[in-house]
Amino acid sequence: MNPTLKRVIFAIAGAAAGLLISFIFFADLNKGDQNASANQSKAEKVFVPYGEKDEYYMMASGGHSGQLFVYGLPSMRKIRTVPVFTPDPATGYGYDAKSKEMLGGYTWGDFHHPAISETAGDYDGQFLFANDVGNNRVAAVDLETFHTVDIMSLPNMGGPHAGVFVTENTEYIALPTRFARPLDGQFAPLDDYESEYKGVVSMTTFDREAKKFDLAYQIVLPPWSYDLSDAGKKMSSDWIVMTTYNTEFATTNLEINASQNDRDYIVLLNWKELEKQVAAGNYKDVNGAKMIDPREHKGAIYAVPVAKSPHGVDVTPDGTRFIAAGKLAPMMTVFSFQKAFDAIEKGEFTDEKYGIPVLNYEDVMEREVDPPGALGPLHTQFDDRGNAFNTMFISSEVVKWNVDTGEVIDRQPSYFSPGHAAATEGDTVSPDGKWLVALNKIAKDNFLSVGPSHPESMDLYDISGDKMEHIMAVPVDPEPHYAQIIHRDKIKTITVYPKDEARPNSVWKQDDARIERNGNEVHVYGIAMRSRFIFDAKADRPDAVTVKQGDRVFFHMTNIDLDQDITHGFGINEYDLNFEVQPGQTSTLEFVADKAGVYPIYCTNFCSALHQEMSGYLLVEPK
């Protein structure tokens, strides 16, 4: 065959084969499948190419894991687990001296509700606050480092489920209690529940410079259960609203006995008035807390009847209304702050419960929103166009409706049983109405099976249009309770701790690494650097430490690698000890060398090509 003709035939054959392969692999063979087309469009909406980043951070509580889960939106990629209330061997949180002291010996926490610090009602991106329902604590995470910087225990509390939320300028981080208890740690039988048990709200402050909490005062209330809460905004900024249930004072079989009344209450607290009274000394000292009873101060507390056993109560972005989600009553109830203020001004009360003036429901209520067949409303979020979004736990859906008119605009299924929802910038005075995430309690059959312990799930919705669009469902570790979503431009992180030569216990030069003995205390002022530890620069073996059995040993380790993403771990074999030192950070590990023998020390966080060589020995001489 002519060589030229042969090349032409091969070229044509090659092109034909290429077209066939292209057809087989890239042709849309499912043109008739509208779902496939829709899925492709949804994938494009959340795809974040390499080199670009998500637009939002989602800070999600980790429930009884005690941790904070950080996601990127819209990709829904999990970025980081931040340990808050629970030790974390991956980072050594709870093992080094500072975090161990913060945890106070607790091994778990029940983190329900994150709250980002606010300025003028807007997320300012500086700190995140967390509640521990299990052990009555509040924590602060510094969003510059995403490290937990302080934890404070709260006396007189019985599970601060209704917190945390912050007032408009983070004057207070408020935590109402779920379970009533006798005050001051006293014992009282359940038969005395109504007289001896109390509900309490903790009003804490946070010093942003010192990064420390303080318990400003506590508010004593009737022994109702306080479920969720919110702070007012703008015209309502002096007020707090809280949902209640178990106004029946039930002490057993609550699923029946705490749902007998047709109405429970939204409690309105004027925290500005209470602040003034506390400053004037009008409080009692109870277990070290300044305890004030708002019923003793005119204008400090009121109640509004609401459909039985409500869950969420949320203040609208403009601060003019608060919306209760019925839970057991299939409706959302819109209340007006101005109407409440007018009724208070006129002294128009229908009743008094436990010394609390009760406002007339009809005087304060604007409208009831009752979408047909929608069951179990739990929580309300908002967009920037006057719309509200409610999760429906029982009917497994999200309902969009207009706050001004009550008109139901759209309903979309969730998969399944959503609790809270979080919208982008959704708890601020200026939500941006782009995305909404439903945090679901049940995920059966949605994902590959991992046995009886199912993952839980979250649904992502595009809420930028008139109709919501369900984008995807993703699995999540137990247990998603609540989240807040903040624009990435508000978060200003550091990647390396600044070099601070005045920092206590820090060592920045290899020659300064040393071991000092004081009685039975041994202090090691060491450094970690790629790819070695130096504990004693002048020793023949600078990466070995010898102590005596029974010595109290302090490893003060500074990571002098001031490069991004060069974290060093520090694990001691068979001593059940491990922690991390971030670039530029100094941390201390304290323990008693109670076991004689030879124990390898090694870097537990892969740091370089010679990571395996980054090791040493702890030698414990027997008594």
Percent of the chain with pLDDT over 90: 90
- Return d(Cα 563, Cα 386) in angstroms, integer: 47
> Do 85 and 99 form a contact (C-beta atoms < 8 A)?
no
The pTM of the full predicted model, rounded to 2 decimals, is 0.92
How do residues 304-321 score in pLDDT, each as one tens digit?
A: 999 989 999 999 999 999
How do residues 423-460 score in pLDDT, each as one tens digit?
A: 999 999 999 999 999 999 999 899 999 999 999 999 99
Q: What are phi and psi of 384, to 5 degrees?
A: -100, 15
The DSSP string of 333-398 is EEEEHHHHHHHHHHT-EEEEETTEEEE-HHHHEEEEE--TT---EEEEEE-SSSEEEEEETTTTEE
Domain termination residue (choose one: 370, 393, 408): 370
- Return d(Cα 264, Cα 294) in angstroms, integer: 19
- Residue 520 belongs to a domain: yes
pLDDT at 19: 42
DSSP 100: H
Q: Over 60: is that where the pLDDT of 494 sits?
A: yes
- Residue 597 belongs to a domain: yes
Q: What is the distance, to the nearest Å, from the Cα of residue 553 to the centroid of all Cα atoms in its chain?
A: 35
pLDDT at 213: 98
- Residue 404 belongs to a domain: no
Percent of the chain with pLDDT over 70: 94
Question: What's the number of domains the chain is made of?
Answer: 2
pLDDT at 505: 98
- Return d(Cα 39, Cα 30) in angstroms, integer: 12
> Do 392 and 412 form a contact (C-beta atoms < 8 A)?
no
CATH number of the domain at 187, please.
2.130.10.10
CATH number of the domain at 614, please.
2.60.40.420
Q: Over 70: is that where the pLDDT of 230 sits?
A: yes
- Residue 377 belongs to a domain: no
DSSP 236: G
pLDDT at 157: 96
Q: What is the bridge-based pairing of β-strands 544-548 and 615-621?
A: parallel
- Return d(Cα 390, Cα 384) in angstroms, integer: 15
Q: How confident is the model at residue 41 (pLDDT cuts 50, 70, 90)?
A: confident
- Return d(Cα 322, Cα 326) in angstroms, integer: 13
429 contacts: CB under 8 Å, gap ≥ 6: 120, 121, 122, 233, 234, 317, 318, 319
DSSP 299: T
The DSSP string of 528-556 is EETTEEES-TTSSSTTEEEEETT-EEEEE
- Return d(Cα 421, Cα 426) in angstroms, integer: 9
Range of the structural domain that residue 246 is part of: 68-370
How do residues 585-599 score in pLDDT, each as one tens digit?
A: 999 999 999 999 999
- Return d(Cα 516, Cα 522) in angstroms, integer: 6
Nearest Cα to 271, choosing from 246, 292, 244, 245? 292
- Compute the mean pLDDT over every residue in the chain, rounded to the nearest whole number: 93
**Mean pLDDT over residues 203-227, rounded?**
97
Question: Of 12-16, 87-91, 602-606, which gets the smallest average pLDDT?
Answer: 12-16
- Residue 244 belongs to a domain: yes
> Do 82 and 571 form a contact (C-beta atoms < 8 A)?
no
Q: What is the distance, to the nearest Å, from the Cα of residue 224 to the centroid of all Cα atoms in its chain?
A: 25
pLDDT at 509: 97
**Mean pLDDT over residues 265-285, rounded?**
98
- Residue 439 belongs to a domain: no
Q: Over 60: is that where the pLDDT of 16 sits?
A: no
Element (H, E) at 125: strand 122-132
Q: What are phi and psi of 97, to 5 degrees?
A: -60, -45
What is the length of the chain? 623
- Return d(Cα 398, Cα 453) in angstroms, integer: 26
How do residues 78-102 score in pLDDT, each as one tens digit?
A: 999 999 999 999 999 999 999 999 9
- Return d(Cα 484, Cα 314) in angstroms, integer: 14
Nearest Cα to 333, choosing from 263, 286, 232? 263
- Residue 43 belongs to a domain: no
Q: What is the bridge-based pairing of β-strands 552-559 and 521-529?
A: parallel
Query: Facing residues of 289 across strands?
Result: 286
pLDDT at 6: 54
Domain termination residue (choose one: 331, 354, 370): 370
- Return d(Cα 384, Cα 386) in angstroms, integer: 6
pLDDT at 23: 39
- Return d(Cα 555, Cα 506) in angstroms, integer: 11
CA–CA distance from 445 to each of 441, 452, 475 (Å)?
Answer: 13, 11, 11
Element (H, E) at 16: helix 3-26
CA–CA distance from 441 to each of 135, 318, 438, 603 (Å)?
Answer: 22, 30, 10, 38
- Residue 302 belongs to a domain: yes
Nearest Cα to 132, choosing from 160, 106, 105? 160
pLDDT at 21: 40
Domain termination residue (choose one: 349, 370, 391): 370
Q: How confident is the model at residue 301 (pLDDT cuts 50, 70, 90)?
A: very high
- Return d(Cα 457, Cα 88) in angstroms, integer: 23
Q: What is the bridge-based pairing of β-strands 77-83 and 115-119?
A: unpaired
Element (H, E) at 400: strand 397-402
Structure-token pair, residue 395: 């009917």
